[in-house]
Amino acid sequence: MNPIDWIVLLVTMVGIAAYGAWRTRHTDHLDTYLKGSKSTRWGTIGISVMATQASAITFLSIPGQGFESGIGFVQNYFGLPLALIIVCAVFLPIYRKLGVYTAYEYLGQRFDSKTRLLGAGLFLLQRGLAAGVTIYAPAIILSSVLGWSLNLTIIATGLLVIVYTVTGGSAAVSLTQKWQMGVIFGGMVTAFLILLARLPAGLGFGGAAHVAGAMGKLQAVDFSFDPDKRYTLWTGIFGGLFLSLSYFGTDQSQVQRYIGGASLREGRLGLMFNALLKIPMQFFILLLGALVFVFYQFEPAPVFYNRVEWSRHAAGPGGAAFRALEEKHAALHVVKQEKIRAWLDTRDRGDSAAEPAARAAMVAANAATDVVRKEAKAALTAADPLAKTKDSDYVFIGFILAQLPHGVIGLLIAVMIAAALGSKAGELNALGTTSTIDLWRHFRPLAAHDEVRNVRAAKWLTAFWGAVAIVFALFAGFSENLIEAINILGSIFYGVVLGIFLVAFFLKKVGGTAVFWAAIAAQTLVIVLYNVLTISYLWYNLIGCAACVVISLGLQAALGGKPSLATDEHG
Amino acid sequence: MRPKPDDDDPPGVPGFRTWRGVYVFVFVAFAVVVAALALFAHVYA
């Protein structure tokens, strides 16, 4: 990065944070602090919902996923539009009608205190753990490739987000997310256009897509019923539906984004905005990764894309073996380039007789380079069992740094940091709100009517969770595959929480005691099954939810009589 | 006269008089996107 990149980065990031903090510095009413401005329109709500979900890992890992495995990951989002329709039709009207601050407050009104605390506790546990990952994941990658101090990156980004989230609460989060998403969209479209311009002359988008397709990178939809396959149409629609329903309907970091706003209409339109745009947006990011793959077919490509990790070992005592692998890969890469050009030539000539053989030769050449990449990863593990062998997260950032002009590099780094700040702010805001409303205010009911004291408590608790996330990120060792770790963690807890809410909405005869113990039993079942079975983790959303609903019905029937009445009266 | 409940507010989107219509539109758009993705994969396979 040169001074131009630094100027672009600092002006956009610090400028947006300072603007958000300054515009919302007089937010001293609890309602505004926790739910945001009542004049918020659907566009801001829609962008805020999108920004909270899209973390920095979305823009670092997902292009890498498109590069490595193709665009099939888009199926993970197939349940999302259906889930948002259900949230709009069922969840949102109830939350607004009751005027709750948190989703778990509703559980207290519908069931009892213990069920409310269970819901809030599961949220704080799951989201509190994820908050550390949200801040750590981009920091580890950015610090590695840019040579920044990891701890300094974590502390700087963490403090920046704490300042404006604590100052302006929900209003500041929504306001800054709007500008941050502007930077993100601008940066990603710029990267896409430059990438297209950098493809070999005459290839164009169509030719690049044909190369990517022939190499198996554009299999967007998999209709197979194999339950062990992680991403298929069916895991996406059914598992993804339950994951999305739980995330958007019951996770406070999302609920908080849409329960405020000018009216129910604005919240609904904001969610429908996401229902329409989310799949195309994820497709675009994955496609960007697939096109980066094509780009490197015509350029010298490294055998391993985490160059810092590779160089560290290549400079060690076993360096000769690493250099031999690099040379072997480079030679096979040249052969592959020839095969690709030969295949494109048969296509241009319309030689349908020679085309199948040329395609098979190209695919075989690609498989040969893949084998060397696997050998390189095995060599890294042999040299150091703790070596980071997943390099797909480094593909897109490596492309940005090596191929984009200065200024645009700063803009793209700003994209990553903007995404990190946006999602982090949504999480902190929700953690602070849930701690204030469902714990602090619940256990100190006499303080419930003291507006100033409530806002002060909310600010302290938001800052507390920000500090927890920073400390967690500084001292915890995380799984290498971070985005999957977050999704797996979510899938283990989300299904049961969704089950509690579905019982609350649709099974009026089931009371608090039955659903509470059913949730405990269902959560235990999911954890046991996760350790025993090898099925796609998305299915645990469905299993946890179904188990909670069925056991609730069974327990209520066994308990007999009328359900226990709601005993929770404290907002 | 009692004010109209929040839930009954029309979507206020040109061409849609009810929320049910909006939901059907979003569902159909989703189906079209999935079909377009399958077609995209087929064309460039």
For residue range A510-567, list pLDDT tens digits in order: 999 999 999 999 999 999 999 888 777 778 888 999 999 999 999 999 987 665 555 4
Q: List phi, psi (to 5°) of A221.
A: -125, 125
Task: Using the predicted structure, report yes or no on whether residue A5 has a pLDDT greater than 80.
Answer: yes
Distances (CA, A) of A292 to A90, A172, A289, A399: 42, 35, 5, 8
Residue A211's pLDDT band (boundaries 50, 70, 90)? very high
Q: List phi, psi (to 5°) of B16.
A: -125, 125
Residues in B closer than 8 angstroms to A280, CB to CB, are: 33
How far, in Å, CA of A269 to CA of A38, rounded? 15
Does the beta-carbon distance from A264 to B33 stay under 8 Å? no
A505 burial (CB, 10 Å; 0-12 / 13-18 / 19+) is middle
How far, in Å, CA of A304 to CA of A127, rounded? 33
A374 DSSP assignment = H
Residues in A closer than 8 angstroms to B27, CB to CB, are: 81-82, 85
For residue range A151-199, list pLDDT tens digits in order: 888 998 899 889 989 988 888 888 888 888 888 889 999 999 999 999 9
How far, in Å, CA of A70 to CA of A222, rounded? 12
Residue A307's pLDDT band (boundaries 50, 70, 90)? confident
User: What pLDDT sits at residue A564?
Assistant: 54
Residues in A closer than 8 angstroms to B40, CB to CB, are: 218, 220
User: What pLDDT sits at residue A30?
Assistant: 79
A97 → chain B, closest CA residue: B6
Does the beta-carbon distance from A74 to B37 stay under 8 Å? yes
Does the beta-carbon distance from B23 to A220 stay under 8 Å? no
Q: Output the CA torsion A167→A30→A251→A107 (10° steps).
A: 160
Does the beta-carbon distance from B40 to A218 stay under 8 Å? yes
Question: How confident is the prediction for chain A on average, in pLDDT?
Answer: 88
Q: Token digits for A191? A: 């990267």
User: What pLDDT sits at residue A363?
Assistant: 94
For A13, residues 6+ apart whose C-beta sits below 8 A from its C-beta are A160, A414, A417, A418, A421
Per the CB < 8 A criterion, the answer to whether A157 and A132 are in contact is no
A513-541 b/e (C-beta count within 10 Å ≥ 16 → b)? bbbbbbbebbbebbeebbeeeebbbbbbb
Q: What are residue B16's DSSP bridge partners?
A: B13
How far, in Å, CA of A400 to CA of A288, rounded? 12
How far, in Å, CA of A413 to CA of A396, rounded? 11
Size of interface A-B (CB pairs under 8 A): 71
For residue range A467-522, list pLDDT tens digits in order: 998 988 887 655 555 656 777 777 888 899 999 999 999 998 999 999 999 999 99
B38 → chain A, closest CA residue: A221
% of chain A residues with pLDDT over 90: 47
CA distance B19 to chain A (A): 8
Per the CB < 8 A criterion, the answer to whether A177 and A478 are in contact is no
Interface test with A, best of B16, B18, B20, B23 (most A CBs within 10 A): B23
How far, in Å, CA of A41 to CA of A21, rounded? 20
Residue tagged 């302290």 (tokens): A460
B5 → chain A, closest CA residue: A97
User: What pLDDT sits at residue A174?
Assistant: 85
Distances (CA, A) of A374 to A295, A303, A311, A380: 21, 9, 17, 10
User: What pLDDT sits at residue A566?
Assistant: 52
- B28 — contact with chain A (CB < 8 Å)? no
Interface test with A, best of B4, B17, B19 (most A CBs within 10 A): B19
User: What pLDDT sits at residue B37?
Assistant: 95
CA distance B2 to chain A (A): 16
Closest-CA residue to A45 (of A284, A251, A278, A263): A263
**3-class state of residue A395 by DSSP:** helix
- B32 — contact with chain A (CB < 8 Å)? no
Q: Token digits for A501? A: 């809410």
A268 → chain B, closest CA residue: B11
Residues in B closer than 8 angstroms to A89, CB to CB, are: 19, 23
For A500, residues 6+ apart whose C-beta sits below 8 A from its C-beta are A107, A115, A118, A119, A250, A515, A519, A548
Stronger pLDDT, A486 or A456, i.e. the higher one: A456
CA-based R_g, chain A, Å: 25
Does the beta-carbon distance from A220 to B41 stay under 8 Å? yes
- Minimal Cβ distance to B34: which of A78, A85, A93: A78
What string of DSSP letters covers A4-47?
Answer: HHHHHHHHHHHHHHHHHHHHTTT--SHHHHHH--TT--HHHHHH
CA-based R_g, chain B, Å: 17
**3-class state of residue A402 by DSSP:** helix
Q: What are residue B13's DSSP bridge partners?
A: B16
A212-241 b/e (C-beta count within 10 Å ≥ 16 → b)? bbbbebbbbbbeeeeeeebbbbbbbbbbbb
Type and span of the H or E element at A316: none
Per the CB < 8 A criterion, the answer to whether A118 and A124 are in contact is no
Does the beta-carbon distance from B40 to A220 stay under 8 Å? yes
What string of DSSP letters covers A120-161?
Answer: HHHHHHHHHHHHHHHHHHHHHHHHHHHT--HHHHHHHHHHHH
- B45 — contact with chain A (CB < 8 Å)? yes
Interface predicted TM-score (ipTM): 0.90
- Minimal Cβ distance to B33: which of A82, A85, A280: A280
Does the beta-carbon distance from B45 to A84 stay under 8 Å? no
Task: Using the predicted structure, report yes or no on whether residue A570 has a pLDDT greater than 80.
Answer: no
Distances (CA, A) of A26 to A44, A168, A171, A431, A432: 20, 7, 11, 21, 18
For residue range A402-434, list pLDDT tens digits in order: 889 999 999 988 888 888 888 888 899 999 999
Per the CB < 8 A criterion, the answer to whether B21 and A271 are in contact is no
Can you tell me the mean pLDDT for A356-377?
Answer: 93
